[in-house]
Structure formats: structure tokens, C-alpha cells
């Protein structure tokens, strides 16, 4: 995870730096190749990298192993478990919906989602509190659904029954506590307001 974050930070810096925009493409690719080769040699990166400009792929390469025990290498097609990195995508999507006027991050969840299944909770928390892990929503999203099995949890909506009836763990806004369940709620809110599937 640390290697992935380091690479994302490197990519972000390269993309954001004014010098990167003026660096000849071949020089930039050479720099990225040397940096990645160095990280791989030090055992600090395993993954796939794609650099595109104007929708055209400039650099694309896979590094390391997808399965260390079986010695299966990563490829450009390897699917990676992003873990909590998707929370950043969720934050961006919520901000985009706010910019489009579809929600107010300082409004209650009940206002943005009037038929949320737990209105006692929805009336007390704001979208901003959900984004900041300050809502008090808790629950184990890694649990097994009542009367089912873990493999039954396939869609975002399948997570909701795992925590929807849980009471708030603390007074909203009074403290911060990492909340996977809160981000499931935000993902479902994105689906409701955008009309699309969160994963799409």
C-alpha cells in the first residue's frame, strides 16, 4: 500500500509540476522508467503504470509479481485490490455532485437521501461529517449478512444491512473515527444522485 501511495504521489507531482508539462515526452518517460526501475530494484514497488497524454498512451508497463508464491508476474491487465484508495474517488465524486448543485455537503444525510433506511441517524449527520469520518456511523462491513454468506456481498447495496441498524458510535462531529461504513453510505448516495453504478 505504501508503495502504491508513493507512486500515486510521484505521478501527481509529475502531472502537476509546470516543468513536467514542458519536459519533452521522451525525457519524461526516461525519468519515469529510471524511477520505477529503481523502486522495483529496492523492493518498494510492484504494480502496473500507465501514463497518457491527450488520451494517448505514452508509457505502459507492469512490474513485479501478482502472486509471489506462484511466481506469476503482473501484467497490464492485472486487477489490483485498491483497498481504501477508492475513498479518494468517492470524495471527488461527492465534490463533483456538490459542484453540480446536486447536494450540499453541509446538509444532513436525510436531506440528500430522504428515504435513507435509518432516519434517526440520517437526520443527525451531515455529508461533510461522513467525508471527514466524523459522523459516528460504525459497523462491520466485513461481516457476514444475516442468513447468508460473505460471497452474497457483491453490490454496494449489499453492505447496507451489515450496519444500517447500528446506533451511532458517538455524537456526530464530536470526534473522528475511521468509518468504512460511512463511505459505503457515500457510495450509495453517489449512485442515487448520479443515476449510475458506483463501480462504473
pLDDT computed for residue 12 by the predictor: 45
Q: What is the pLDDT of residues 28-71, one digit of tens each?
A: 899 999 999 999 999 888 889 988 888 889 999 999 988 889 99
pLDDT computed for residue 18 by the predictor: 41
Q: What is the pLDDT of residues 9-27, one digit of tens each?
A: 444 434 444 455 566 888 9
Give residues with Cβ within 8 angstroms of 55, minimum separation 6. none
Span 96-110, mean pLDDT?
97
pTM, two decimal places: 0.67
pLDDT computed for residue 128 by the predictor: 98
pLDDT computed for residue 98 by the predictor: 97
**Going from the N-terminus, what domains does the chain have, and what CATH number goes with each?**
2-80 (no CATH), 84-194 (3.40.710.10)
**Res. 74 pLDDT band, cuts 50 70 90:** very high
Average pLDDT along the chain: 87
pLDDT computed for residue 9 by the predictor: 42
pLDDT computed for residue 146 by the predictor: 87
> Is residue 113 within 8 Å of residue 190, measured between CB atoms?
no
Span 86-108, mean pLDDT?
96
pLDDT computed for residue 199 by the predictor: 86
Amino acid at each position: 500500500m505504501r508503495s502504491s501511495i508513493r507512486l500515486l504521489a510521484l505521478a501527481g507531482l509529475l502531472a502537476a509540476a509546470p516543468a513536467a508539462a514542458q519536459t519533452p515526452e521522451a525525457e519524461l518517460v526516461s525519468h519515469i522508467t529510471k524511477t520505477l526501475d529503481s523502486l522495483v530494484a529496492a523492493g518498494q514497488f510492484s504494480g502496473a503504470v500507465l501514463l497518457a497524454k491527450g488520451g494517448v498512451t505514452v508509457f505502459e508497463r507492469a512490474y513485479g509479481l501478482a502472486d509471489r508464491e506462484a511466481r506469476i508476474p503482473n501484467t497490464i491487465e492485472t486487477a489490483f485490490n485498491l483497498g481504501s484508495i477508492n475513498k479518494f474517488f468517492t470524495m471527488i465524486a461527492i465534490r463533483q455532485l456538490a459542484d453540480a448543485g446536486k447536494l450540499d455537503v453541509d446538509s444532513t444525510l436525510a436531506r440528500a437521501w430522504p428515504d435513507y433506511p435509518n432516519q434517526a441517524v440520517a437526520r443527525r449527520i451531515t455529508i461533510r461529517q461522513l467525508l471527514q469520518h466524523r459522523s459516528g456511523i460504525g459497523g462491520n462491513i466485513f461481516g457476514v449478512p444475516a442468513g447468508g454468506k460473505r460471497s452474497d456481498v457483491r453490490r454496494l447495496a449489499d453492505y447496507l444491512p451489515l450496519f444500517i441498524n447500528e446506533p451511532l458510535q458517538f455524537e456526530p462531529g464530536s470526534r473522528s473515527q475511521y468509518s468504512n461504513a460511512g463511505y459505503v453510505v457515500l457510495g450509495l448516495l453517489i449512485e442515487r444522485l448520479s443515476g449510475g453504478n458506483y463501480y462504473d
